[in-house]
Amino acid sequence: MGNTEEENINVEASAEEVAPESVEGAEPEVAAEKSLETQLAEAELRAADNNDQLMRAKAELDNYKKRRDKELQNAHKFALEKFSVELLTVRDSLEMGLASATQDGASIASIIEGTELTLKQLSGAMEKFNVVQVNPEGEKFNPELHQAITMQESDAEPNTVLTVIQKGYTLNDRLIRPAMVVVSKKAAGSAIDEKV
């Protein structure tokens, strides 16, 4: 039994030696577990924060789109407001001119003067909003700005605008109505007639 007791003592001693090691080995695992749990909690907080920021950014973008759409609608709806206000003064002048022309004792000179002033007012309003008159009389025919109604034999250089039947207009350098014109062509005695 002496041997058995010795063996028991050795086993107990070795168990004591193993136990502290296994406890020490368990502490890093517990620390690693706690570290992972902490990292997970931090990651969840960051994810929640990022999600919150994303939701705020989406809401802000939606609000911006709504404001932009409303501003665009108003811009389309009221784009001509300033131009209309300018035209109202021209209309008022026309109405006053018509009223004075229908009164007894109205002279042609005063009617002409009133009409000229009204036309000047209208021209000023158009100029203010970059509506520019195209009056190409005597210029070379330009199909981008002019519309030839007919051609007429003339001593003038071929493809020259002889007469402007109706003036054209551009708005901010964009054609809104071409000038309707009569264009020159070589006299009948020439060998080749120029075409527009």
Q: What is the pLDDT of residues 98-122, one digit of tens each?
A: 888 888 888 888 889 989 999 999 9
Measured CA to CA, the distance from residue 162 to residue 139 in angstroms comes to: 8
Is residue 94 within 8 Å of 111, Cβ to Cβ? no
Query: How far separated are the first and last CA of the chain, in Å rounded?
Result: 134
**pLDDT tens-digit series, residues 123-134:** 999 999 999 999
Of 138, 133, 108, give the one whose Cα is nearest residue 122.
Answer: 133
Q: Cα separation of 184 and 160, whole Å?
A: 5
Alpha carbon distance 165, 81 (integer Å): 31
Sequential DSSP letters for 86-141: HHHHHHHHHHHHHHHHTSTT--HHHHHHHHHHHHHHHHHHHHHTTEEEE--TTSBP
- Give me the pLDDT at residue 15, please: 45
Q: Helix (H, G, I), strand (E, B), or coil: what is residue 12?
A: helix
Residues of the chain falling short of pLDDT 50:
1, 11, 13-25, 192-194, 196
The domains located in the chain, with CATH, are 131-196 (2.30.22.10)
- Which of 181, 177, 187, 178 has the alpha carbon at shortest distance from 150? 181
Q: Directed axis angle between helix 108-128 and helix 81-101, to 10°?
A: 180
**How much is the pTM?**
0.58
